[in-house]
Every structure is written in C-alpha cells, then in structure tokens.
A = this chain, B = another copy of it.
Amino acid sequence: MNSLPEATALLASGDNFLLTTHLHPDGDGLGSMLALGRALKSRGKRVEMVLAEAIPSSYTFLAGAQEVRREPPTDFVPSLVIALDCGDRTRMGLPPSFSFPPEVPILNVDHHLSNDFFGRVNLVDPEAAATGELVHRLLSAGGYKLDAAMATALYVAIATDTGFFRYTNATRSALALAARLVEDFALEPGKIAEIVHEQKSLNAIMLLSLVLATIQLALDGVVAWMYLSQEMLLRYPVEIEETEGFINYARSIVGVEIALFFKEAKPGEIRVSWRSGPTVDVSQLAAHFGGGGHARAAGCTIYADLAEAVERVLGFLAAWHRARERQR
C-alpha cells in the first residue's frame, strides 16, 4: 500500500520507533531521518535512530546527529521500523547482528524510482525531488509543528539531493519548499551550504587527477573522452560511487557535445558512461552498443580491453559525426 493517510496513521498509533537510512548516508537520508525523529519525539514518542556507520562530518551539525547510534539499545523492540531513502530492504543501514520480529511493520519512505515497496506501508513517490520532501508531506499531513532544526534538516535533504537545485530532479516544488523552509525559520542558505560542502577522500581526488590527465578531444572537439583503468584504481582505491562525478569534467569543456568515460570494471569489461548537452541524444548512441539511459546521460558495457573499447566507440562516433556534418 502506497498511502499518505496510512503512513500518517501508523506514526500516530505506535510508541517505539526505530528510524534508519541507507549506508554511506547522504544529506537526504540523514536530514529526513533527523527531521522525522525530532518531530516524533516532540509528540512524546520513543525514537531510536540507528545507522551502522559513522555520520559524515559535514552532517554532524544537524540537531540530533549525536543521538544516532551504531546499533539499537539491547532488548529494544520497536513497534514500527521506518526506512528513509532506502530503495529496498537490504539498503537499510541496520547492523547485521540486529533483527526485529516479522510482525513489526516497516514504513518505507523513499523517492527512488527503483523502490520495490518493501514496507507494510509505503510512502514512495519518484516525482519527489528528495525523501525530505516526502517527510515534509508526512509531517504536514500529521499536523506536526516544524521547528528551525527540522527545517534545517529538510532543507539539507532537498538541497543536497538536487545538487543544490541543479539536477533534473530540481523541480519547481522542491525549490519552493526549500525557499519556504528558509523563509519561515530564518535559515541562512549560504551558511548551511558552507557547512555541508561536499567531502571527498584524498584517494578520490588523486584518482581524479589521474583520470583528468587522460582527457583527449576527438572529432574536432565535439567529443571528449577519458578513462579509468584497473591499475589506476589499485593505486588509489575508492568506492566506485566516488568516481561518478568525474565525467562532468569532460562534459564541461567548451565546445564538447559528447563526453565519454571508459571505466575498466575488470579486465575485459569496460563500462562506458555517456553524457551530452542539449544537442545530442546519447541514449540512442549508447544503444548501438546494447546500452541505454536518458538523452543526456546513458551507459553501455563493452567486453574488450580498454584500447579496443575506445577504438570501437570513437570509430562509431566518427561515422555518426560525418553523417551529421553531411546533413547540415
């Protein structure tokens, strides 16, 4: 069941709440958990917020962050488990040692398109810019009184998950809600952003340096491509998500219409990320290699070594480029 009234009723009915979000928590997961936890406490509920991992230092300033525990208190049996920003049950950041009785319901609050509705009750809306937007909906429907701390947590959730209003999920309503939170509680967006500035590992930055050094232009500067080999990854080990933004550097070069990032996932398996501006639909181009995605962001996998994968893609694009030039 995917229902706001049911979700609100569930919050009103129980007394012992276990809240969690996903591992490698981001501003949306943490902000959503902290805002909801604080609201429930304000109604006199017992709230345990659990995450089997340290909270990134950029978010420890949020009220309640110090109360998040690595594991629930011994013998704590929740009446309701609330998963925030988790696409499926395995993403929930509870410690492996902890289990709760199967009759305890899960409330699943999330905005991922891939969400598999694992909760007894679900509040899932892929149209929402952030899970924080859904928490705000939940608190409004339940008549909870927001305070500045909750507003800050929800602002952080929305601002960070929309890349500070730059990603395609940065909707009108997300910006309007963020502005309203800022206005109503006299928040200072510039100061908040200064604190939650993106943190990176040293390895991720050194790896970025190596990858940027591989950038080459092709087809009169229409294409920029770069690569990440296993050798480079061994030198600077990182979580693979830490390389996700790398392709934007190639994409940002003046005149470039198509950016390509060849990642050697393992020897002989090359994952290719495609990005483009408004002039090219890369999902159509990636489809030639069995891939897909969106017009501006697509991907494909090529089973070959790095040099051959690059040659195949650039060869295909050269033909595409010639055909396009003829049509102009």
Contacts and interface: CB of A to CB of B under 8 A. Distances in A.
Contacts of A248: 197
Given A179-B178, A179-B179, A189 B170 contact: yes
A167 B190 contact: yes
A267 to B, nearest CB: 25
Contacts of A164: 163-166
Contacts of A201: 253-254
B215 A252 contact: no
Contact of A200 (B183, B208, B254, B278): B254
Given A164-B164, A213-B206, A197 B253 contact: no
Interface of A: 56-57, 159, 162-172, 174-176, 178-180, 182-183, 186-191, 193-195, 197-202, 205-206, 208-210, 212-213, 215, 217, 224, 248-249, 251-255, 277-278, 296
A185 to B, nearest CB: 10
Nearest to A180: B179
Contacts of A251: 197
A280 to B, nearest CB: 13
Residue in A171, A186, A224 whose Cβ sees the most chain B Cβ within 10 Å: A171
Given A164-B165, A166-B193, A206-B212, A186 B200 contact: no
The 10 closest A-B pairs by CB, nearest first: A179-B179, A209-B212, A170-B190, A166-B193, A164-B164, A168-B190, A209-B213, A170-B189, A200-B252, A175-B179
Given A195-B278, A212-B208, A172 B165 contact: no
A258 B153 CA distance: 26
Contact of A57 (B56, B249, B254): B254
A173 B239 CA distance: 38
Nearest to A296: B194
A248 to B, nearest CB: 8
- Most chain B Cβ neighbours within 10 Å, of A162, A169, A212: A212
B217 A202 contact: yes
B176 A193 contact: no
A205 B175 contact: no
A246 to B, nearest CB: 11
Contacts of A170: 189-190, 193
26 contacts: A56-B254, A57-B255, A164-B164, A164-B166, A165-B190, A165-B193, A167-B190, A169-B190, A170-B190, A171-B190, A172-B188, A175-B179, A194-B296, A195-B277, A198-B252, A199-B253, A200-B252, A202-B217, A202-B254, A205-B215, A205-B249, A205-B253, A206-B212, A206-B213, A208-B209, A209-B212
